[in-house]
Amino acid sequence: MIAPAALPSASTHAPTAVVQKAKPAPHGWTSYSVRNGDTLAAIASRIGTTTGVLVARNKLAGGGHHLSIGQHLSVPRSAAQARVDAHRARAASAARAAAIARSTYVVRSGDTLGGIAARKGVSLASLLKTNGLSARSVLQIGQKVRIPGAGAASASRPSSSGGLSTTRYTVRSGDTLSGIATRTRTPLATLYSLNHLSGRSVIHPGQKLKVRGTTAVASASTSGYTVRSGDTLSGIAARHGVSLASLLKANRLANANQLSIGQKLRVPGKKASSASSANTFAGRTYPSSVVGAANRNRDALAQASVPSRSQTRDMIVATARRHGVDPSLALAVAWQESGWNQRQVSVANAIGVMQVIPSSGEWASQMSGQKINLLRTQDNITAGVVILRSLTRSAKNVDQAIAGYYQGLYSVQRYGMYADTKVYVKAIKAHRSRF
């Protein structure tokens, strides 16, 4: 033990300055709301930082010994949060740029309204209506014309380019030039030539590319899927990147409950040979390592004993009450994510009832003070509930907390809710009103 006399005095050293020069948050900062019973030391331990960092960052008087319930602290963001937020930010930036490019057209010499409508794949009538024009309107070079519903369709009528019959393909999130070439049976060199691209070119969601004139046939094709234990129609639809409605229609099913193990389903709008479709979920294509891990977890859960939906519901309610989370919120999120089905595993390796990915499971382990195994139903529910608890305490309101579960709270607070996030929040609120 060091004697008091041997300790350096405050007049000769500046520990606060040292902390400020350090880099305690390599992944940036996020917000934490102080709750009953919190101490600065406990918060620092839970987040994986030091009290000195928190004192310096938040300029806390008295060393942070006097915290108030509800007080917001700036704390280091985890690597997992940073990865999710970075991906969302890149996708949002690309989508915004593509939307701006699609939504307006600057008139050039020789343009006509009919020509612009044909080039953009919209009807002349809708183009005129959107811009308050008539068929007799005169265009001016440099005039900006709004394009109605730009990018809504993935292909337009075939045209001719250099003797080759072509059509247009609309780039989707996760697409690559080589993937598009394979899917549309267009040689990669031809794809480059038709669109004045190179191997270094960057493509964006919503961008229209010329491809060989077979896309309409390819995109209308279907692939087969055999139902396995733990499958749900909504999960199958999400895994294959199609809507639940289109899956129901393709198989002439009246509702999402008509499913049995071994049943053969037709999956619309996807080619069985398309590698990207098997690895794509919610518009993002995942590496084979992630998809492989998801497959292993799905197989493990197919062999495991899991609670019934009614038992799972009771477990969610009990866990939510134990951790101070509104049970109706936890039930709504779990229903939206998995239909209270522990065997549900997405291609992104989101696991179980609460659809928690492994990195978020580690975060939940730190917050709950226990080692969480996402393949165990109770652990999975605990992970989702403690994440919800953290979100509801850090978010400005419940809507923002719900959005944070889907999009990431830092991303929501910085960029706002994305369009798909708003749909998610609306769905959760509708489920919650029933529970």
Q: Which domains does the chain have, with CATH numbers?
A: 16-77 (3.10.350.10), 99-146 (3.10.350.10), 159-216 (3.10.350.10), 221-278 (3.10.350.10), 309-434 (1.10.530.10)
pLDDT at 215: 40
In tens, the pLDDT along 200-216 reads 666 776 678 888 764 43
∠ CA 356-358-359, nearest 5°, is 105
Has residue 112 got a pLDDT over 70? yes
Residue 43 clears pLDDT 80, i.e. is over it = yes
- Higher-pLDDT residue of 93 and 35 is 35
- 240 burial via Cβ count (<10 Å: 0-12, 13-18, 19+): buried
Answer yes or no: are the C-beta atoms of 236 and 265 closer than 8 Å: yes
Residues 6+ apart with CB under 8 A from 361: 351, 372, 374, 383
Residue 311 confidence (pLDDT): 94
Mean pLDDT for 15-21 is 42
Task: Give tens-digit pLDDT for 360-381.
Answer: 888 899 898 899 999 999 999 9
Q: What pLDDT is stored for residue 282 in this prediction?
A: 47
Q: Give per-residue pLDDT as tens, 286-296.
A: 677 777 888 88
- pLDDT computed for residue 33 by the predictor: 84
List alpha helices for 31-164, DSSP H. Answer: 40-47, 51-58, 79-103, 113-120, 124-131
Tell me the per-residue pLDDT of 145-166, one tens digit each, with 9 for 90 and over. 888 765 433 333 344 444 556 7
435 has a pLDDT exceeding 60: yes
Let me know: does 170 contact 206? Beta carbons within 8 Å: yes
Q: Are 343 and 350 in contact (CB under 8 A)?
A: no
Residues 417-430: what's their mean pLDDT? 85
Mean pLDDT of all residues in the chain? 76
Q: What is the largest CA-CA distance in the chain?
A: 94
Closest to 238 in 3D by CA, of 328, 331, 355: 355
| Of the listed ranges 91-100, 186-195, 242-251, the one predicted with least confidence | 91-100
77-94 pLDDT, tens per residue? 877 777 777 777 777 777
Quick: pLDDT tens for 241-274: 677 667 777 777 766 566 777 788 888 764 433 4
- At residue 379, the pLDDT reads 96
pLDDT at 383 over 80: yes
Q: What pLDDT sits at residue 178?
A: 65
